[in-house]
């Protein structure tokens, strides 16, 4: 059983839902990535999503775009991201790590080389925003050979047929984009999300996580009642952006604990 599957199984036994934070590696400094990962786990994160810095994102709103720009200005590459995972694994061999990014850096490295290096680093899942799922079979094959899950996005505009096709391809979990637009944008309607998650569950073989637009613990709690996981991205990246570098791990941990307590019904 993969680390991702094991984590969801463990949480299900506890009647809890997964909390998945996202931040961009290298923002504000590369050397803060591993301390921030450890702090997020200490704050209650169950799975970590690491953003691979990229110059031309399509799904990311201004907050995460700025994070990528800062990381790129720091010279951070895909190779650096893999090195961060390797370092994290020296002290944590339990928490699943998912890489989230775009196709160009992976294509430049080569699918097979990327898959092998990701496995060696300790990566558990990969989500590539701009690989159309039905055209991502080569990526999925390369990752499957080394035991890495391929995670796909679904959106409010995904058709029923395409939803079923994507659900058959996905491993690890499915990531439902809860609103039309980019990360951090729009107003989240929990009732509409709940209806869509129910549709996805009818054909999904893996857990369903929800992300985009989740800015507070109350919303995370409501979504955790209908989904298997809640992804917190822009809100965390905003916290990082507003912090002086030495405060980043502490403030990330504090924010995660607020979401964790809310999701567990403690506040």
At residue 153, the pLDDT reads: 95
Q: Tell me how far the alpha carbon of residue 201 is from its chain's centroid.
A: 19
At residue 187, the pLDDT reads: 59
Rounded to a whole number of angstroms, the distance between the first and last alpha carbons of the chain is 33
At residue 45, the pLDDT reads: 98
pTM of the predicted protein model: 0.95
Catalytic residue among 27, 46, 49, 124: 49
At residue 62, the pLDDT reads: 87
How do residues 125-155 score in pLDDT, each as one tens digit? 999 999 988 889 999 999 999 999 999 999 9
* Residues whose CB falls within 8 Å of the CB of residue 232, separated by 6 or more in sequence, listed in order: 19, 20, 21, 22, 211, 214, 220, 256, 259
**149 included as an active-site residue:** no
C-alpha–C-alpha distance, residues 204 and 170, integer Å: 9
- Packed helices 111-121 and 137-145: angle between N→C axes, nearest 10 degrees: 40
C-alpha–C-alpha distance, residues 64 and 82, integer Å: 20
At residue 182, the pLDDT reads: 44
* Residues whose CB falls within 8 Å of the CB of residue 206, separated by 6 or more in sequence, listed in order: 167, 170, 171, 172, 173, 174
At residue 60, the pLDDT reads: 74
**Contact present, 264 and 80 (Cβ < 8 Å):** no
Catalytic residue among 27, 60, 228, 239: 60
**264 included as an active-site residue:** no
Residue ranges in the chain whose pLDDT is less than 50: 181-185, 267
**Contact present, 22 and 30 (Cβ < 8 Å):** no
Beta strand segments in 191-247, E:
208-211, 229-232
At residue 179, the pLDDT reads: 66
- The DSSP call for residue 245 is G
Dihedral over Cα of 183, 185, 190, 194: its sign: negative
């Amino acid at each position: 059983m993969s680390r991702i599957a094991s984590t969801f199984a463990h949480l299900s036994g506890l009647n809890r839902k997964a909390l998945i934070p996202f931040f961009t590696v290298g923002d504000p400094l590369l050397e803060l990535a591993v301390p921030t990962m450890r702090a997020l786990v200490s704050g209650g994160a169950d799975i970590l999503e690491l953003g691979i810095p990229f110059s031309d994102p399509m799904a990311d709103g201004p907050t995460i775009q700025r994070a990528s720009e800062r990381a790129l200005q720091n010279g951070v590459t895909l190779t650096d991201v893999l090195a961060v995972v390797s370092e994290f694994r020296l002290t944590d061999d339990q928490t699943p790590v998912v890489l989230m990014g775009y196709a160009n850096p992976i294509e430049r490295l080569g699918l097979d080389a990327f898959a092998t290096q990701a496995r060696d680093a300790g990566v558990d899942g990969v989500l590539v925003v701009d690989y159309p799922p039905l055209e991502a079979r080569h990526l999925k094959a390369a990752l499957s050979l080394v035991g890495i899950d391929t995670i796909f996005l679904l959106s409010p505009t995904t058709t029923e047929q395409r939803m079923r096709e994507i659900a058959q391809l996905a491993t690890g979990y499915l990531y439902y984009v809860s609103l039309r637009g980019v990360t951090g944008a729009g107003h989240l309607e929990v009732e509409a999300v709940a209806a869509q998650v129910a549709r996805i569950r009818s054909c999904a073989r893996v857990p369903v996580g929800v992300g985009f637009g989740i800015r507070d613990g109350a919303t995370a709690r409501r979504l955790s009642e209908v989904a298997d996981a809640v992804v917190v991205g822009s809100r965390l990246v905003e916290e990082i952006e507003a912090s002086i570098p030495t405060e980043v791990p502490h403030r990330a941990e504090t924010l995660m604990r607020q979401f964790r307590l809310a999701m567990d019904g403690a506040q």
